[in-house]
Structure 1
């Protein structure tokens, strides 16, 4: 395995498990402890990870998101449960926005399966491809600058199209959120799109599994109190739930089955 492949593996692994020991990484990669330490040192210099006693964890400051395919393989059960909970907020005849992401893809699957006649706007190519042949879905894609890594459109062109719309319910994804920093992203183009959605939608709903909580990116999107609802999985710590309840946001816990 080449150095870049090892480092991508480590970064992906940490998105799933949050932290890992040097010894476990050496076994997983079948390399020496010294090789792992060199990889970790390089990743730390890039700002992606932080070394801890005997191991490594993700940096709370998110520098880069995982590619779409890698994200789709993580926390799948949580995303499916969140998608099912999102569908219950949708009524026939509504205009729905589905943000780019693997959790919103699960929401798209659930909405389509209920055969509700709705209009869906999305900036996500995977979602639009899935919905394209659904006769009960009136589908719009935002267009705009293509983000190949995340299979979506970002930037001002996409944002300007969204600003021209009146949206009933927007399901917004994020790679990073917490009470202190609100919603954020390491990508300026994504921030522009999400801020346009927040301004255009009557009801804004964050959909996020608990692994995204406690991280923040360079570009601030909004404080949490600008959201109407948050749909999350039952792995979010109770202490965080209690703090969220004080913010008077509609909270919907998607229970894993």
Structure 2
């Protein structure tokens, strides 16, 4: 690998595990400890990771999300379980929104064969997938194209959403916690998600536990602006219970075990 490819691999690897030792990275990449340390120093300079004794962990301050193609395989079993639990909430005849993301793609897979649903999304991958199911009524928001995340963001997408009444909005996030609420490193995503909060009767965060405790520069809303959170059991009841005490419906699902 060239250095840029190696650093990208390290960042994805740390995303999967949150904390990784230098020994593990050196063995995984078959390179020297010094090479790994140089790569970590570069990633640290970019604000992506934080060094710890003998290793590295993700920075709680999310500077940039992984590209869609890079995050698709990370925590996939968790995302599948969350997606199915979310799909089980959908009733016939409803108008639902699927936010851009790899977890919401799993929601799309869960509702794809249903009849009498209207689906709105800003995600090109979700729209392309659901186009195979003509019994669904499908809308794409349009707007400013975010090629890295294969979606549309910005004012045009938000304006489309402001003209709708949604029964359920399944909202994705790369960073959220009880103190800072829902946040993002991308300013153009804020207005889209805030529009959802105004037009959806039920506002459901679908996000695995690895995103909890992270925060982006731009705050979207406190968690109490949501109605539900669906995450995985690694979030822990000690985190979920105080959120339930604030009126949120919090569901923690077990990851699926590959057959």
TM-score range, shorter chain: over 0.9
CA drift at 1:135? 2.1
SS in structure 1 of the partner of residue 125 of structure 2: helix
Q: How does 1:54-65 map to 2 (within 5 A)?
A: 54-65=54-65
SS in structure 1 of the partner of residue 234 of structure 2: coil
1:208 aligns with 2:217: no
1:95-152 deviation digits (Å, cap 9, x = unpaired)? 1000000110000110113x23110000000000011131221000000111111100
The residue that corresponds to 2:87 in the other structure is: 87
Q: How does 1:16-165 map to 2 (within 5 A)?
A: 16-113=16-113, 115-165=114-164
1:179 aligns with 2:197: no
Q: Distance in 2 between matches of 1:56 and 1:255?
A: 27
SS in structure 2 of the partner of residue 51 of structure 1: strand
Question: TM-score scaled by structure 1?
Answer: 0.97
List, as ranges, runs of 4+ consecutive aligned residues in structure 1 with deviation greater than 4 Å: none
Conserved? CA contact 1:91–1:116, under 8 Å: no
Q: Distance in 2 between matches of 1:59 and 1:256?
A: 24
CA drift at 1:32? 1.1
Name the Cα RMSD after superposition. Answer: 1.0
Question: TM-score scaled by structure 2?
Answer: 0.96
Q: Distance in 2 between matches of 1:111 and 1:54?
A: 45
The residue that corresponds to 1:248 in the other structure is: 247
SS in structure 2 of the partner of residue 235 of structure 1: helix
SS in structure 1 of the partner of residue 247 of structure 2: coil
Q: How many aligned positions are there? A: 256
